[in-house]
Structure 1
């Protein structure tokens, strides 16, 4: 099973199209929030078209689970057929335990506690726009970065993938399709 991991799309339809080229063969997509609105502290992305992005998310043949981000609002949910869940999404997929939380109001200590309490295999976060893969005990913490507003020094926009059978995790550059981070 292939799981797509995405976050911080911020209404950028053009970057969604690039991400979709990699996500469309996923069995499920986990979105860590900040779906439609660019946010008051962010620049407006070049491909900003939240209506078009909402239509694309609604039309996705791949199921999507979304955790509420700090830029998501009730009006966003009015545009989406996919529920924005708040503040956590818990899923049991292929025998693995997943938790998704945007990351804007959770500490590393809180993540450690949740990992232990729920015996998590994967904890998905976003918010920082900086990709990350790290282990906390037996849990893999993944931040796929942002599809449109990267805060990496090199400004690479990214998405992630989890191959459940092998346990491998990859975060890829949307332009080149190459791994920028991976865990085998």
Structure 2
């Protein structure tokens, strides 16, 4: 299983489209909100998109929950879960949904961790990163012995790789 996770693109369709085209091998594409685009922009694209605090089109859902293989994926922007200060509310929601992967954005900071057996991934921002200079996105791969989370720059160079073993 391979997921492409992007977030906080803030109308930068050029960079977003380039990243999506570069990773045609993924099983699922996820946008964690703040695209600042109309819902219709994504109508013909195979991508799960949620509404962020800068998205005003109410057709975007607040959250998505779906299965990829055996994994339950929960996608939200994170602003309503206070992700800039703690992952606790997001963790509670993930447990309610029995999610095994949580994808979120909002802080524009890359990060990945496992908490209570749930993988949390924030891909950073493809528009205005915080905490580092590179615009970023994430690729998550599940293997029989664990998770690999690769953070890439918008130039498709790996800037960080985190491995979680089962």
- TM tier, smaller: 0.7 to 0.9
- Residue 58 of structure 1 deviates from its aligned partner by 4.7
Asked if structure 2 preserves the Cα contact closer than 8 Å seen for 1:132 and 1:181, the reply is no
- Deviation track 1:3-55 (CA, whole Å, cap 9, x = no partner) reads 11111111112322442243322121011001135xxxxxxxxxxxx8xxx3x
Q: TM-score, normalised by structure 1?
A: 0.75
Gap runs ≥5 in structure 2 = none
- 2:76 & 2:155 partners in 1: Cα distance? 26
Asked if structure 2 preserves the Cα contact closer than 8 Å seen for 1:19 and 1:147, the reply is no
Gap runs ≥5 in structure 1 = 38-49, 78-83
Q: CA RMSD in A?
A: 2.2
- Give the total of aligned pairs: 157
1:162 corresponding residue in structure 2:
140
Match of 1:141 among 108, 120, 144: 120
- Residue 179 of structure 1 deviates from its aligned partner by 3.5
1:104 maps to 2:87: no
- 2:44 & 2:76 partners in 1: Cα distance? 24
1:93 corresponding residue in structure 2:
68
2:111 corresponding residue in structure 1:
132
Structure 1 or 2: larger strand share?
A: 2
List aligned pairs for 1:48-87, cutoff 5 A: 54=41, 57-58=42-43, 60=45, 63-74=46-57, 77=59, 84-85=60-61, 87=62
Q: TM-score, normalised by structure 2?
A: 0.83
- 2:117 & 2:130 partners in 1: Cα distance? 28
2:22 corresponding residue in structure 1:
22
Structure 1 residue ranges, 4+ long, deviating more than 4 angstroms after superposition = none
Point out the more displaced range, 3-12 or 174-183: 174-183
Asked if structure 1 preserves the Cα contact closer than 8 Å seen for 2:150 and 2:158, the reply is no
